[in-house]
Amino acid sequence: MRPSGLIISVVLLLALVVTPRLISSQEAPVPVVLWHGMGDSCCNPLSMGVIKSLIEENIPGVYVLSVRIGDSVVEDVENSFLMNLNKQIDMVCKQFSNDPNLEMGFNAVGFSQGGQFLRGLVQRCSGLKVQNLISIGGQHQGVFGLPKCPVGLHICEYVRELLTKGAYEEYVCACVIVQAEYWHDPLQEDVYRRKSVFLADINQERSVNTTYRENLIKLKNFVLVKFNNETVVVPNESEWFGYYREGQEKEVIDLKDSDIYIKDKLGLKVLDESKRLHFLSLDGDHIMFTRKWFVENIINPYLK
């Protein structure tokens, strides 16, 4: 190779090595991932589609990924009722870990059950760099009742019927019904602790997995949004980690009076004391909010 050829090759090589670094060192917006709720899908133009556009309008150039479980939108909706959660979280962990767009870190917003699923992901999937985790109406202590189904979703009616028959029965829990995996019966706490295949595990009810705690503590912020006029989540306090006191279904205790906080099994106390645990509430029924509310309370403070 002649010297001039060599120089050109070196320059080209340098350009190849240096340019990507220059690009990535610019302040690129932090990517956002979304996890939808029960009966919804990744790409519903009336729900996740609106949220995705809203984030894109407010943060030019941002990469937004809406989780899809399955090979199609129809499968995605079905899987929101019927696919084992531990498996879903494993799948999403692999998908995110292999997505170069998420390599440098991202923010995560979960809607309804997507809130506790994303928390499970943060706790279990150690390689991910999640900055802010936002749960909009998630049920972090589970539910004891599924009072309402989205209109026209027969699969949901079927799930409700099975749940009332027994959420921890093997045939429901082994594990076909997603909602059974965060069913929390305060009248049978011991059964819940032993048999809940998802929620009792991520809430450290059986044993304490220090990885879960370490991963959650790494968050910059953990934001819990609760709806003041809930008719879907029972008890509504679960959206802020509150739940029925054991052995009855009337009196609810706040997170700060619960074992999970007092013993700090999950790191929530550490997050709270370092002002990284945020409790937001707004008037409205389950997951009802305006674009303005979302921009002012979620996008501007936590996604920009």
Ligand X SMILES: *[C@@H]1O[C@H](CO)[C@@H](O)[C@H](O)[C@H]1NC(C)=O
Contacts to ligand X by CB under 6 A: 124, 126, 209, 211-212, 228-230, 235-237, 252, 283
Q: How far is the CB of 60 from ligand X (least distance, A)?
A: 35
CB-wise, 72 or 211, nearer to ligand X?
Answer: 211
Q: What's the alpha-carbon Rg for the chain, to the nearest Å?
A: 21
Q: How far is the CB of 242 from ligand X (least distance, A)?
A: 8
Q: How far is the CB of 289 from ligand X (least distance, A)?
A: 13
CB-wise, 24 or 228, nearer to ligand X?
Answer: 228
Q: What pairing do the DSSP bridges indicate for beta strands 277-282 and 252-253? A: unpaired
CB-wise, 176 or 282, nearer to ligand X?
Answer: 282
Q: How far is the CB of 205 from ligand X (least distance, A)?
A: 13
Report yes or no: 133 and 221 within 8 Å, Cβ to Cβ.
yes
Query: What burial class does residue 42 get, using C-beta atoms within 10 Å of its C-beta: 0-12 exposed, 13-18 middle, 19+ buried?
Result: buried
- Calpha distance 18→28 (Å, rounded): 17
**Tokens at 272, concatenated:** 């709270």
Q: How far is the CB of 278 from ligand X (least distance, A)?
A: 19
CB atoms within 10 A of CB 147: 11
CB-wise, 147 or 150, nearer to ligand X?
Answer: 147
Q: How far is the CB of 212 from ligand X (least distance, A)?
A: 6
CB-wise, 37 or 235, nearer to ligand X?
Answer: 235
DSSP assignment of 57-92, as one string? HHSTT--EEE---SSSHHHHHHHHHHS-HHHHHHHH
- Calpha distance 276→124 (Å, rounded): 20
CB-wise, 57 or 283, nearer to ligand X?
Answer: 283
Peptide bond into 235 cis (omega under 30): yes
